[in-house]
Structure formats: C-alpha cells, structure tokens
A and B are shown apart, each in its own frame.
Chain A
Amino acid sequence: MRRFRGVSWMIGGAAGLGINTVAELLSKALVRHGYYVFSNIEYESLIRGGHSYFRVRYDNKPIYSHVDYIDVLLALDDPSLVGDGGKHTYGHLHEFLDGSILIFDIESSRVNREVFEELRDKGVYIYDIPMTKIVKEAATGGKANIVVRNMVGFGATTYILGLNKEVVEDVIRERFGKKPQVAESNIALHDLGYRYAMENYRDGIRIFLEPAKERETLLIATGNHMAAAGAVKAGLKVWAQYPMTPASRIYRYLEEVKDKYGIFLVQPESELAVINIAIGAAFGGARAGVATSGGGFALMSEAVGLAGIGEIPIVVIEVSRPGPSTGLPTRQEQGDLRQVLHAGQGYYPKAVILPGDPYEVFFDTVNAFNIAWKYQMPVILHYDKHIAESLYSFPEPDQSRVKIEDAKWMSDEDIRSIRENGGNYKRYMITEDGISPLLRLGTEGLVLWTTGNEHDEYGNTTEDIQQRVSQMDKRYRKIEVLKKELNNNFDYYKPIKVYGDYDGDIAIIGWGSTKGVILDLLELLNNDGYRVKYIQIRFAYPFPNEAFREAVKDVGLKIIVENNFDGLMEGVIRENTLISMDYSIRKYDGRPFSLGYLYDKINSVLKEVKVLG
C-alpha cells in the first residue's frame, strides 16, 4: 500500500464509546490550526457495541478523500485492532504502514502480546496509554468512565500530532458549552492523556505537519449540516421528517434553530404523512421541505406525483444508502438515481439536483426551493451518505451570492380584473411559459381548486382529450423554460462542472460524492503525466445535454465512476445524449471509494488502454 499526502488518523471502537465526539472535535481543531480536513465515518446499524470507526485525514493543501491506511490509530477496544473474527470487523492491523502509530491501552486489553511485538517489527510505534486507569484515578467519569476514555486518547492524539492544546481545549469547551462542568472534566481528561504521552514517550515518534501558510477561514461540516442551513436560508417555514438514516440528522440541525428562524417542525407517523403535510403546507403558501432516504422516498412517490400534476412547490431531499429494502442502512451507495428520476406513475415535470459536497449542498438547497416555487413543481435534491455524514472543510458559503426567488403571484390588477368580471381564478391557466400565476389562498372573493386528477384551467377534474393534452403540454413547457434558465445562468446553477485539464484527452465522469475522491485523484494522475479532466454532473433532470456534449467533445477516453451496481448515470447519459462511456468503474460493496482504491482502478484502465492502443 502506498502513502498519499497528508495524515490519516483513525479512531475505532464499539458504538457508544464516543468515537464521533473525538473525531468531530479533532476535525474542528485541525481546521482551526490551518489544515484542510476530510473525515468520514463507518458505523453499523446498532446503538451500542459492534464496530465503528471514523477517519480524519488532513493536510496543508485541500483534501477531499480518505485513504485505506492509517498513520495514527486510536483504538478504544480490542476488535479495532485484531477484529472479532469478522462478526463486526476484521480489525485494522492490516492498515498500518511502516512508521504508523498506535495509541492503545495494553493493560486493559486481552490482545495477545505477540501482536504488539509484530507491530513493532513492522515499524509501528506504540503509545501504550493506560486510558482506563487514568480515568479511574481521575474519578471524573463516574459510571461513564468507559466512555470518557476517548478524551484521554484524544489528549495523546493532540500531543502526537503536535497540536496547540489551547486551541483543542477551546473546541472542547464550545462543544459542551451548555454544560461547563462536563466541558471542564473533558478538558481535564484530555490534559491527562496529553501529559501521559508527553511524559512517558519523550522520544516517541510524533507527526509534525506544517499548517497551510495562507488559508482562508474554513468551515468543517457535513452535507446534512449544509442542507439544514441552506433550507433556512431559502425561507423554509414548515419541515416534516420521519427518521431514516442517513437523512435523520437534518431534522436535529433544524430543531436547533427553528425558534430563531420561525420554522415549524413536525415528525409525523410516516413518510406518507411527511410528504402530504409538506404538500398541504406548500399549498398554503409556506416554503416546505422534507428529507428521507430511499425507503422513505419510495413511500412518498405517489404524493410527489400529486405535487407534479397539482403543481405544488415542494423540496424533497433524498439521501441515499444501499438498497434494496433495508439494504445496508448505515452505508454508502449511489443506487437511487433512477428512483428519484422516475418516482411515481406517469409523467410530470420536476428537477433533480445532484450536489457533490456540502458546499454545493448549501447553494443547491436554496436553488431547489427557488426552482420549486418559480416553476411550481417538486424538486428533488439527491445526495448520498458519504456527503451527508462526512466532514468536509470548505470556505464559508457567501450568502450574498444567493438569490431568493419567489413564485409568480397574481398581481393586484389580475385579481381585480377577475373580480370585476365575476369569473373564477384559473389556477392552471394555459400560458406561454407553462407557469400559471399563483393566487394566495384567502384572497377576498376568489377561490381556487387543485387536484391530482387531470384538470381544466380552473383545477376541476376533466377527462376531455383536448384539456388533457393542453395541460400536459403546459406542464412540460415549464421544463423547456427551466432548461433555458439553466443554460442562460450556467455559472450560477452549474449543471455541469469541469475540473482539471480542460483540454485533457482523458475524462473522468461522476456525480455526487465521488467528486471528492476524483478531485484528489486528478492531482495524482496529473503528476503521473496524464492530461485528465473531471466532469461532474449536477443535474439529472433536466439533463444538461449540450454542456455534457461540449465537455466530452475532444476527449479520447471517457471513464465513468459510480458507487453503484449497474451504472445508473451511465445509462442516463446514454439515453440523453447517445454518448457511451469507454470504461466504467463501479463499486457496490456499501463503502465509498478511497483514494487508493480508485487510483488502482483507474491505473488498470489506463494500462489496458495502453496495451490496446
């Protein structure tokens, strides 16, 4: 296994041992030191026990992916090291390289002592920190002392990585801000770990990585964080959600801010209720949204169609995980693209937006609401677990770049003219752009009808052939207008993004979370002498045909990378453009692409091409 740039740290242990807390604190502290960070978690569908691990990779240059090896492992239990026979894990021993570091509590462990000797022979440096004993002596943890060992290990980490203790302590203090006593006892444990490592391993290997010299202030956040922030920015007023991994936390993030921003949150009985509550709220003029994963979305499909034919502006965030059915509930896959594209029976206009990282999620969430309201249709924002729950470091989204666009409402004049003529409001008026101006419910003297049946201009059901055709055509004219808007404002919506060597003769094509690993890969391939560009597809519907054609025009080799079984985007590209890929790299083991894995795969393609060429 080869090393890539940056440092790869990992914490491993059973669920409930405080793995997330330390990884999140460390990620934040690293960003404050001036590093770039990418952290991703793997966990099982259980509350306590099993095996979870969180990787934190950082560097003084931008970094967007994880690697399969470990520079520093903080192992909180034996299985993290040697596994449990594969029941939950095979352990992480095989991920050590010469010069890697292990932080471990040997006296509390049942691991065969020979293992440590073998590790030392392999060049692994061991910080044996009696975390359990330290916690017991400090007596700060009470019954929870098994849990708070994480902070002792964190302290050792801070020492080994040469971090500024004050910066780390600030981060801890902020985390437990509401409970100062808890904060101080965690800081004390962190300090004990730090000092134990320092005093007992004066000559121990440490890792000093120079932080970036000049780096703008970065945020460290997940896609779900930015979905919540983006929705608030977009004017969200009503949010409904039923818990489903990996979308669940969006609700929690909104809950933290709902009072300040006047957002009503509800967790009703099912995803059926969720989507229909949102539809009711949007019908009532409130910006409404929902989030779920594939299973919940399947339940919502019929109602999304109602929003389609009823022309009701709703935003659905679909965060995918591996299916079918319950599949691998806490893991990664890009297997829902067809589901979001073809949700429900029949044909209705919609938009499907595919952000590639949390920074994009922020802007795309705002755009999703804007498009939903401007075009009066459902908009699906679709990303995957790897974006939803990984911590990315990225510049603060510039709010001044965001425009909030409202629906086309009936003007006072329009309203007056209907009143004077004693007529009724045409909710589904046939217009050139397909958009029928909205009437606010409760407008004096006027009423409106909406239905999931085919309807006439007034919104009353019809089975008339002509009405059916003209309403279908009217609805699909909205897509034509949307396509034009996306083209005319290409730099704002960026339906396609191209990175790397614009004139490159090799194109790597992807969507969603593969963005991070492909960006890191570009640098490697570039160093290897290849001229490569990365084409990121950000709209699945309407598909940016022309822009995609343009991007692949002079490309000699097209390789598509997807985290799924049968190449969903590959098919979407083909059906829209008749362009076929030369190679496809697919992964459907429930895990995201690591940098090393994708580098190897691409290299074998390139080797094959050379042989063929």
Chain B
Amino acid sequence: MSSGLTIREYDYKKPTWCPGCGDYTILNVLKKVFSSMNIPPHRIVIVSGIGCGSKLPHYIRVNGFHTIHGRPLPVAMGLKIARPDLTIVSIGGDGDTFGIGAGHMVNVPRSNIGIVHLAQNNGVFGLTTGQPSPTAPKGFRGTIYEPFKPLQVALASGATFVARTWTGNPSHMEFVIKEALKHVMAGYGFAFVDIIQYCITYNPLIFGEPFITYYRKREYDLQKDPDYDPTDIINAYKMAYMDGDKVPMGIFYRDTSKKALEVEFGLIDQPPGLMDIDGIDVKEILDKYM
C-alpha cells in the first residue's frame, strides 16, 4: 500500500459518547496512529467488548467486531490465529478487561499472541449509570474491593509489552499505541496498554481533583528518564507500584526476545483463515480404526 493515508480515510460514524469523554481522544489517536503508520483500513480489525468505549468500532472505518462483555481478548486471539497477516487491536473497558474478562487478561498474554489490547480504564461502568468498576478505589460507590492492578497483572501474565498512558495527553498516547503496534507487527507478541481516563458524567474527579489537573501534576514520563530500562521486569514492577505524587506513564516493560505465537507456530506463513477446505482425505485417520 502506498503511503499517504489521511486521517479522513478512517472517518466513519459520529460517536454517541458524552461531550468531553476521553473515548474521543482514543478514537482520534487511533486514526492518527493508523494513518501515520500507513496501515490501510482493510488490514486492521478492532475487536471490542461491551460498554461506552467498546462502541468505538462503529465510529472508525476499519474492520470492526463489537463482541460481548468481557470477551474481546479471546475473540481477538482466535481472529489473529486465523488471520495473523492482519493487524488486530482489542479494546475493552475496565469491566471487560479486569472484571468479567479477567480470566482472559491473565491467560491470553501467556500465549504471546500478537495483538494489542487497549484497556479503557475510568473506574466506572458508565453505560449502566456509574457502578464501580474493578479499578475503582475501595469505598467508591460502596465497592468493597481494593482496586485491580492492571500493570502488575499484565506483567505477571507474561505480556511482552506493558504500557500506560492517559487521555489527557494525546501525543503521549499516540507514542505509546504506536510503540505497542510496532511491537506486535515486529512479531514480538502481546502488547497491553492501560489507558487512564475519566468518566465525565459518573467519575469526573480523581480524589476530589479534576482529572486533567490531577494527572498533569503527577505524570512522570518513563521514557524521559534516561535511567529507566524497560527491559528489566523488576523495574517495571517497581514503577507499576508507584502511585501518589508521581504516576509513571509510558512503556513499563518491553521484551523483544520472545516470538509471537503466530510466528512461533508458523501460522503467519499459512493463515488458517485462508487455507483450502475441500479435498481433504482422512483415509489415514479412518485406517487407524481398522
């Protein structure tokens, strides 16, 4: 495909999100990333779960599969197995990723399948009118749980690329998602990006402070720290646990020593979704039972 894809080529329907929602930022950043990386719409599939953010595939002109709550990861995995030649982005909210779909969050990365998963992490279930999500602080709207730790879990689950960004800094998000896609497209495997956002309607404040000011004050860009080594997983864990005055953003961990599943098992050479189905002779199997 020749270069020069414009953002316009990815435009589709107008979103129905609340004005001011961070999902707009994610949508715009994705279009920017795809166009700047010259990936044509027909070579991309976005697989989403259920929730406000998971409506995203309907607002961008790439292939889209809007699945059911919690399942974008295994669907994206199956799709990548069938069509490893395509670029697959899985996207889901914090309920999708860390609640109902948590079982997939800790297992799909272990396969090191080459997909990017974007977790839209805003602490609430917006579409069902503001119930606490797994990443909400304990006590928020009555939740009895300590908040889920996305980065630690991603690291422990074997994701070979683990990053965090936030909707208040679109250029940072663009950098991170682009790096995640590069990781996947280079055949290194699974990339996880935690995207911190707010819900303008049900969770606009972070500990009483407006979202943007809260994170702008605390944002600590790991890639601007010349001493930070993202290939060291112990460092990554340390940074993942850092909270309070300094909130690290960027690429926590990157392991380019492993092969993606589709590379390791040779799927990329013979995509199962493109193979012939007719004329298969099973005599050899039947003969075993003679």
By a beta-carbon cutoff of 8 Å, the part of chain A in contact with chain B is 31, 217-221, 225, 228-229, 232-235, 237-238, 240, 257, 260-264, 266, 268-270, 272-273, 276-288, 302-303, 306, 310, 396-397, 399, 404, 406, 440-453, 459-461
Q: B141-173 vs A: 1/0 string, CB under 8 Å?
A: 000000000000000000000000000000000
Q: Max chain A CB contacts within 10 Å: which of B42, B63, B67, B85?
A: B63
Could you say which residues of chain B place their CB within 8 Å of the CB of A279? Answer: 67, 75, 78
Q: Max chain A CB contacts within 10 Å: which of B42, B78, B106, B274?
A: B78
Minimum CB–CB distance from B216 to chain A (whole Å) comes to 35
* Residues 268-285 of B at the A interface (beta carbon under 8 Å): 270-285
Q: B81 is contacted by which of A220, A280, A399, A442 (Cβ under 8 Å)?
A: A280
A280 and B265 contacting across the interface, CB-CB below 8 Å? no
Could you say which residues of chain A place their CB within 8 Å of the CB of B61? Answer: 447
A284 and B83 contacting across the interface, CB-CB below 8 Å? yes
A452 and B66 contacting across the interface, CB-CB below 8 Å? yes
A399 and B282 contacting across the interface, CB-CB below 8 Å? yes
A442 and B74 contacting across the interface, CB-CB below 8 Å? no
9 closest cross-chain pairs (CB), A and B: A280-B78, A235-B277, A284-B82, A285-B273, A277-B78, A276-B74, A237-B272, A286-B82, A269-B107
Distance in angstroms between the alpha carbons of A396 and B286 in the assembled complex: 7
B75 and A280 contacting across the interface, CB-CB below 8 Å? yes
Judge whether B125 is part of the interface by a CB distance below 8 angstroms: no
B83 and A449 contacting across the interface, CB-CB below 8 Å? no
Could you say which residues of chain B place their CB within 8 Å of the CB of A303? Answer: 68, 71
Distance in angstroms between the alpha carbons of A234 and B275 in the assembled complex: 12
Could you say which residues of chain B place their CB within 8 Å of the CB of A261? Answer: 280
A447 and B107 contacting across the interface, CB-CB below 8 Å? no
Distance in angstroms between the alpha carbons of A273 and B77 in the assembled complex: 9
Could you say which residues of chain A place their CB within 8 Å of the CB of B273? Answer: 237, 281, 284-286, 441
Q: B80-110 vs A: 1/0 string, CB under 8 Å?
A: 1111011000000000000000011011100
Judge whether B57 is part of the interface by a CB distance below 8 angstroms: yes
Q: Max chain B CB contacts within 10 Å: which of A221, A443, A444, A450?
A: A450
Given A261-B280, A442-B85, A447-B41 in contact, is the A280-B77 Cβ separation under 8 Å?
yes
Judge whether B76 is part of the interface by a CB distance below 8 angstroms: yes
B75 and A285 contacting across the interface, CB-CB below 8 Å? no
Q: B55 is contacted by which of A235, A280, A444, A461 (Cβ under 8 Å)?
A: A461
Could you say which residues of chain B place their CB within 8 Å of the CB of A461? Answer: 55, 58, 66
Minimum CB–CB distance from A177 to chain B (whole Å) comes to 10
Minimum CB–CB distance from A174 to chain B (whole Å) comes to 9
B278 and A449 contacting across the interface, CB-CB below 8 Å? no
B42 and A447 contacting across the interface, CB-CB below 8 Å? yes
Q: A277 is contacted by which of B45, B81, B271 (Cβ under 8 Å)?
A: B81
Residue of A nearest to B87 (CB): A442
Judge whether B7 is part of the interface by a CB distance below 8 angstroms: no
Residue of A nearest to B104 (CB): A273
Could you say which residues of chain B place their CB within 8 Å of the CB of A442? Answer: 42-43, 83, 85-86
B277 and A441 contacting across the interface, CB-CB below 8 Å? no
Could you say which residues of chain B place their CB within 8 Å of the CB of A282? Answer: 78, 82
Could you say which residues of chain B place their CB within 8 Å of the CB of A234? Answer: 277
Given A229-B282, A264-B267, A284-B273 in contact, is the A447-B63 Cβ separation under 8 Å?
yes
Judge whether B211 is part of the interface by a CB distance below 8 angstroms: no
Residue of B nearest to A459 (CB): B64
19 additional A-B pairs beyond A220-B289, A237-B272, A237-B277, beta carbons within 8 Å, are A31-B290, A257-B284, A261-B280, A262-B272, A264-B267, A272-B104, A276-B75, A276-B78, A281-B79, A281-B273, A284-B273, A286-B83, A303-B68, A303-B71, A310-B65, A397-B286, A442-B83, A447-B61, A449-B66
What are some 22 contacts across the A-B interface (CB < 8 A)?
A: A31-B290, A218-B290, A219-B286, A220-B289, A229-B286, A269-B104, A269-B106, A273-B77, A273-B103, A273-B107, A280-B65, A280-B74, A280-B77, A283-B75, A284-B272, A310-B65, A396-B290, A441-B273, A442-B83, A445-B40, A451-B57, A451-B66
Judge whether B236 is part of the interface by a CB distance below 8 angstroms: no
- Kindly state the interface size class of chain B when it binds its partner: 35 or more
Could you say which residues of chain A place their CB within 8 Å of the CB of B62? Answer: 447
B81 and A441 contacting across the interface, CB-CB below 8 Å? no
Minimum CB–CB distance from B268 to chain A (whole Å) comes to 12
Distance in angstroms between the alpha carbons of A406 and B289 in the assembled complex: 29
Distance in angstroms between the alpha carbons of A139 and B108 in the assembled complex: 49
A306 and B282 contacting across the interface, CB-CB below 8 Å? no
B270 and A262 contacting across the interface, CB-CB below 8 Å? yes
Distance in angstroms between the alpha carbons of A276 and B104 in the assembled complex: 11
B74 and A277 contacting across the interface, CB-CB below 8 Å? yes
Minimum CB–CB distance from B198 to chain A (whole Å) comes to 24
Q: B289 is contacted by which of A221, A284, A286, A306 (Cβ under 8 Å)?
A: A221
B79 and A284 contacting across the interface, CB-CB below 8 Å? yes
Distance in angstroms between the alpha carbons of A303 and B83 in the assembled complex: 20
Judge whether B180 is part of the interface by a CB distance below 8 angstroms: no
Minimum CB–CB distance from B197 to chain A (whole Å) comes to 22
Could you say which residues of chain A place their CB within 8 Å of the CB of B104? Answer: 269, 272-273
Minimum CB–CB distance from A333 to chain B (whole Å) comes to 26
B47 and A460 contacting across the interface, CB-CB below 8 Å? no
B272 and A238 contacting across the interface, CB-CB below 8 Å? yes
Could you say which residues of chain B place their CB within 8 Å of the CB of A270? Answer: 103
Minimum CB–CB distance from B17 to chain A (whole Å) comes to 13
Given A264-B267, A306-B68 in contact, is the A232-B79 Cβ separation under 8 Å?
no
Could you say which residues of chain A place their CB within 8 Å of the CB of B79? Answer: 280-281, 283-284
